[in-house]
Every structure is written in structure tokens, then in C-alpha cells.
Amino acid sequence: MSTSAIDYTIDHPAVAGTPSAASIDEVIAAPIDSKPSKGWWIGLAITGSMLGVGILSISWLFYKGTGVWGVNQPVGWGFDIVNFVFWVGIGHAGTLISAILFLLRQKWRTGIARFAEAMTIFAVMCALIFPLIHTGRPWLAAVYLFPYPNQHGLWVNFTSPLLWDVFAVSTYFTVSFVFWYIGLIPDFAMLRDRATTKFKKIAYSIFSLGWRHSNRHWQHYEKAYLILAGFSTPLVLSVHTIVSFDFAVSVIPGWHTTIFPPYFVAGAVFSGFAMVQNVLIVTRKYFNLEHIITINHLENMNKVIVLTGSIVGYAYAMEFFIAWYSGNPLEQFVFLNRALGPYAWAYWTMVTCNVVFPQLFWIKKVRTNIIGMFIIGVFVNVGMWFERFVIVVTSLSRDFLPSSWGHYVPTAVDFGVFIGSIGLFFTLVLLFVRVLPVVSMSEIKAVLPGAQPSRH
């Protein structure tokens, strides 16, 4: 093939301009090589304080028992399950960006995949807090949750979707962690080769697993990455489907519906992309990564947000239609109570944040405006938290018997644990950006203009 038949351009560049491979390494490794700035320390102090509030709240919870929560009869589930579902949903975008977009050969994933993968792991870690403290005695969680032969002849209830959560979420976390680590190996080797201290060189040498950038290593790496992407793809659908079964297999009006699995999956991707978008906007500005995490990346994410937001809005409408079409007065009452009852403020906050605001992304000027997309992303995550709150509380607070109706009011401990989970998440994010490359060096260099010549 003659050189005239080679095209070194990319129709939709994954990197702005024409940076060299060496400059890519310098920019991505700069946060790791330099000393933490004052802004980073201030951010860590804020998130660390929030984490401290969570630790104190959980400590008080262990000392006093779950009676310090706002749960009552009939609202036996409160902030614990709301926050669990919220954080599991946040973790969905990472696997979607990394695995599914990788299988579809979408080059725009390269600038955001590493960060999204890390946020998946951090979000699942935050989510795991709530099932453990919900058991009341977390030191006996292994006895209650994991099936193993024992002298008491006690076995877990395999028909319970809460047990299915254990297997689904733990599998999702394990595969996501391995997938994330495998992608880091070539970058660990690059950091090893440029390390200036003996400690860093030894640490990165251990984590790089003897990587030498040889052709054989790259062949094995690409094959393993492809296999893990194939494993991860079904997990995007399965994990939040299993989480939705916590509600869908019950007989509670407002929960007992077959729309929950696709509805929950779309909502999880919706909230996950919004969170990744928010954090990336700050990160790209703070670490001067605008030419690597480009407006094109953020615009594509916003397109996914408006798509999944439309699916979520459709699901909201279908819930009311099915309740009416079923002719079941109990179902009809639950949804009228959501829209017009004592928690109507939460329901309409949810609808406004999740359905109305994301539709602004149909406008290109909004879709490519940094401030606008950041604000809408924040509203999306607020709305998705309220969605879980509305599903849990409005369905439980009005029981079958009016004499047993109750009003759920979260306590300071409820809010403290939630604030602590937010603090844990962002503390892990801040530590991540200081010790590991937030963007994959090897993948970015693979999509530079001229890196992969192709025919016209």
C-alpha cells in the first residue's frame, strides 16, 4: 500500500490538537509528580470532615442500635435502602463507558473511561456501607448473608432478592476492580520508568507485574481486556435489575411491577453519567486536561443523559398508566398519593430534576456549555436520589390499613451516615487523582492522529 493511501486524520478527534506522545505522558503524570496544591488539601479537609461525620454517626448507631434511625411502622425501610440503591446506580456509568463503548469501538471513551471505572469502584464501596449497617449486627453479616455449612444447620433464604443483591453487587465489584486494574498495568509501567524516587519505582514495579511494553505483552493485554469487557457488559444490565427485584417481587402496591428492571437500569446509567460528568468537569479544569477530556467527550455524555432521562420520564408516565389500566384501587391510590399526597414535594422535585432539566440538552448551546451542563448534572443526581426516596417512602407510608399509616422523618443519624458516604466517595476521588493517572496514557496515545493509519 502506498503512503498516499494512508489517512492520518480522525473524523471525530478524541484529543484536541496534535499533542505528542511524550506531552501526553507529561500532562497526565503531572498531578502524580507534583506536590499537592492548597486547593487539593482544602478539598481533602472538607471531604474528610464529611467522612468523619459519617464515622461518628455509624459509631453512635452501633452503640444505640437502629432505633436512632427515623424508620417506623409502616415505613420499615428508610435512608439505608434509598442510599444503597442511589450509590449502586452511580456505579453503573463506569462499566458502561469502559466495557460497552469499548466493545463498540467508540474512541471518545478513552478520555473518560479510567475515571469512570474508578468512580464505579468508589460508588460500590459507598453502597456496601448500608447493607452492613442495615443488618443491625454487621459483625455477624457473614453468618446472615453468605451460604456456608455450619453446625447450626442455618442457611440463607435463597428466594430473597436481598441475598441476590449480595452475589450481584459483589460480582460487579470484583469484575469492575479487575477490569480497572488490568487497564492500569501499562500505565503503571510508564510511571515506573519515569519514577524519580526509589519508593515509587518499587511500588510501580510491583503493580506493573513486570510489564515491558513488548508485543507479546500487548497481545495478552488486549485479549484479557476484551474478555473482561465481555464479562462486564451483562453486569451493567444484571446488577441493577437484581436491585430492582428488592421491590418488584414484593406485593406492596407501587413496587409490584415488571417495569422496574429496565426502569432501574436506565436510571442507574442516567445518574452515573451525571456524576462522572460533574467530577470530570472539575478535574479537567483543575489539572489542565481540556485537550484530553474535550467538549466532545462531555457532549457525548450529555447525549446519553438526555436519552436515559427520556427513558426514565417514559417510565414515570407508564407507572401512572398501568396503575389506571390495571383497575386496582390500591395501585391507583399509591400513585395519586405520590403526586398529590404529603410527599408530593419530593415527587415533583424528582420529576423536575429528572425529566424537565435534562431535556435542555436537546439544545446544542446548553449541551456544550460547561456551567450549564454542570448544573443540570447536579440536578440529575438530586432528582435520582429523590426518585429512590419517593419509591421507598410513599409506597410504605400509606399501608393497607389507614389506622397504621405513618409519616417518615429522617433523623440526624440518617443524614450523618449519608453525608459520610458522600465524604468517603469524594475522599477516594481526591486520593485517586493524586496517586494514579486519571486518564489512560496508552489508550490516549493509541487514538492520536497518525497513531492508527487507515485507508481513505
**186 pLDDT exceeds 90?**
no
Q: What pLDDT sits at residue 9?
A: 37
**CA-CA distances (angstroms) from residue 65 to 60, 73, 138, 220, 277?**
8, 17, 11, 51, 38
Taking alpha carbons only, the member of 273, 239, 261 closest to residue 88 is 239
pLDDT tens column, 136-176 = 677 776 666 666 666 666 777 778 888 888 888 888 888 88
Identify the band that residue 7 occupies on the pLDDT scale cut at 50, 70 and 90. Answer: very low
Q: Which of the pair, 223 or 442, is modelled with greater confidence?
A: 223
pLDDT (0 to 100) of residue 198: 86
Which residue bears the cell 457532549? 299
CA distances (Å), 166 to each of 49, 138, 315, 422, in order?
Answer: 30, 14, 27, 22
Domain boundaries, the chain: 3-455
d(Cα 182, Cα 81) in Å, to the nearest integer? Answer: 32
> How much is the pLDDT for 8?
33
Give the C-alpha separation, 35 to 448, whole Å: 29
Nearest CA to 118 among 272, 268, 230? Answer: 272
Q: Where are the alpha helices (DSSP H) in 327-409?
A: 329-340, 344-351, 364-367, 370-397
Digit-coded pLDDT (tens) for 276-304 = 899 889 888 888 788 788 888 888 889 99
Distance CA 124, CA 170 (A): 9
Tell me how far apart the alpha carbons of residues 212 and 340 are, in angstroms, rounded to a whole number. Answer: 64
Does position 19 have pLDDT exceeding 70, yes or no? Answer: no
**Helix 412-435 and helix 38-64, axial crossing angle in degrees, nearest 10:** 140
Alpha-carbon span 321 to 131, nearest angstrom: 33
Kind and range of the H or E run holding 233: helix 215-248
- Spatial neighbors of 194 by CB under 8 A, at least 6 apart, are 25, 29, 33
Which three-class secondary structure state does DSSP give residue 272?
Answer: helix
Round to whole Å and give the CA distance between 440 and 40: 22
Quick one: pLDDT at residue 51? 94
CA distance 243 to 272: 15
Q: Is pLDDT of 221 > 90?
A: no
DSSP, collapsed to helix, strand or coil, labels residue 98 as helix
74: cis peptide before it, omega within 30°? yes
Instruction: Identify whether the C-beta of residue 71 lies closer than 8 Å to the C-beta of residue 438.
Output: no
pLDDT in the model for residue 448: 67
List of long-range contacts for 64-71, beta carbons under 8 Å, 24+ apart? 65/136, 66/133, 66/134, 66/136, 68/411, 68/413, 69/410, 69/411, 69/413, 69/414, 70/408, 70/409, 70/410, 70/411, 70/414, 71/408
pLDDT for position 31 = 77
What integer pLDDT is reported at residue 455 of this predicted model?
47
Asked if 361 and 367 touch (Cβ cutoff 8 Å), the reply is: yes
The three-state DSSP-derived secondary structure of 425-440 is: HHHHHHHHHHHCCCCC
Give 6's strand partners: 455
Domain 3-455: assigned CATH number: 1.20.1630.10
* Cell output for 214: 513488548
Tell me, what amino acid is at 241?
T
Which whole-number Å values give the CA distances from 358 to 34, 56, 89, 112, in the listed order?
A: 38, 36, 17, 21
Lowest mean pLDDT among 27-36, 59-68, 431-440: 27-36
pLDDT reading at 111 higher than 80? no
Across the chain, mean pLDDT equals 84
CA atoms within 13 A on the CB side of 205: 9
Confidence at residue 419, expressed as pLDDT on a 0 to 100 scale: 94
Apex 393 CA angle, 420 and 387, nearest 5: 70
The per-residue pLDDT for range 254-274, each reduced to its tens digit, is 888 888 988 888 888 899 899
Question: Is 2 a residue whose pLDDT tops 70?
Answer: no
Q: Average the pLDDT over 328-350 and give the result.
A: 91
Q: Any residues with CB less than 8 A from the CB of 227 and at least 6 apart, and which?
A: none
